[in-house]
Amino acid sequence: MGVDPLSQKDKICTFDCTYCQIGETLLFSSERKIFVSTEAILKEIASLPKNAKIDYITISGNGEPTLAKNLGDIIKRIKKIRKEKIAVITNSSLIDRSDVQVDLLRADFILLKFDANAEDLFTIVNRPSPGIKFGDIVKGIKKFTAMYKGRLALQIMLVKKNKSYAREIAKMAIKLGIKEVQLNTPLRECADDPLSKPEMDVIKKYFKGMKIDCVYNAKIKHVKPMHKEDAEKRHGRGKR
Ligand code: SF4
């Protein structure tokens, strides 16, 4: 089940990834603030039937969820009323900040975006807002993984721009001690073309020894949105 702690009309993000399925980033921000009160989120979650079949409560959003200053409070208070594990999907841009690390430590599963092996490729693929540096992200991941005891995976989006760097990205993941990766290519409509299954199969081999989930092997789960429009904001309808 997805929770969006931003819930704004337009995406708010620290990146403007070329493949973003929800369209261009018009609201760039690196400032953490409260977008939706913890109470409002808890009220919706409390309305779920106690026996609803949910594997993870996943905090992602119409943009970057660590921008929500109350992220840690949201996780802590959801845990008081639901028994499910909590996942956070982040683009890793603020992972070098200690306040963000403290918030993320509360979650059971962290998915970290990692699409590049160096500053120049990072700038081309993720198009970060000024001040966000690839080197700081790498340092932040190193520091966070040393403290974090839960499940952690890198989420890597592969497109034509970073395909030939996939081996280097895998080497960095190994150096960082990563045990699990999700290898994605954009199958929903966006500005980048997806890589083919044979191309992804080659890339998978670079990550040998890790737990690998590849988008082409993923089982499609049919889920019912609580709010169709809000779900479309996060998943996109192919706006570009
Ligand atoms: S893909 Fe995620 S991180 Fe990249 S611009 Fe879109 S919302 Fe932001």
**Residue 36 is encoded by which pair of tokens?**
């939706």
Nearest residue (CA) to ligand 1, atom 1? 20
Instruction: Provide the pLDDT for residue 237.
Output: 47
- Written as one string, the DSSP assignment of 18-80 is TT-TT----EE----B-SS-HHHHHHHHHTS-TT---SEEEE--SB-GGGBTTHHHHHHHHHH
CATH number of 2-232: 3.20.20.70
Non-local CB neighbours of 112 within 8 Å, separated by 6+ positions = 90, 92, 95, 141, 152, 153, 154, 155
Using a 6 Å cutoff on CB, does residue 24 contact ligand 1? no
**Alpha carbon distance 28, 132 (integer Å):** 12
**Alpha carbon distance 21, 185 (integer Å):** 11
Q: What is the largest CA-CA distance in the chain?
A: 48
Give the residue among 184, 235, 171, 174 at the shortest CA–CA distance from 213: 184
Find the 50 Cα to ligand 1 centroid distance in Å: 32
Cα torsion for 55, 59, 64, 66, to the nearest 10°?
-130
**Residue 101 is encoded by which pair of tokens?**
């690390």
Helix, strand, or coil here: 186? coil
Domains of the chain by residue range = 2-232
**Residue 29 is encoded by which pair of tokens?**
């921000």
Find the 49 Cα to ligand 1 centroid distance in Å: 31
SS (H, E, C) 114-144: CCCCCHHHHHHHHCCCCCCCHHHHHHHHHHH
**DSSP element (H, E) containing 156:** strand 151-157
Give the residue among 70, 106, 67, 74 at the shortest CA–CA distance from 90: 67
Residue among 22, 124, 190, 234 whose CB has most ligand 1 atoms within 8 A, to mutate:
22
Instruction: Provide the pLDDT for residue 240.
Output: 33
* N residues, the chain: 240
Find the 105 Cα to ligand 1 centroid distance in Å: 22
Measured from the Cα of 11, ligand 1's closest atom is: 7
Instruction: Provide the pLDDT for residue 51.
Output: 84
Along the 240 residues of the chain, how does pLDDT read in single tens digits? Answer: 999 999 988 999 999 999 999 889 999 999 999 999 999 999 999 998 878 889 999 999 899 999 999 999 999 999 999 999 999 999 999 999 999 999 999 999 999 999 999 999 999 999 999 999 999 999 999 999 999 999 999 999 999 999 999 999 999 999 999 999 999 999 998 999 999 999 999 999 999 999 999 999 987 666 666 666 666 655 554 433
Using a 6 Å cutoff on CB, does residue 184 contact ligand 1? no
Helix, strand, or coil here: 227? coil
**Alpha carbon distance 192, 169 (integer Å):** 19
Half-sphere exposure of 198 (CA within 13 A, CB side): 0
The sign of the CA dihedral 165, 153, 133, 61 is positive
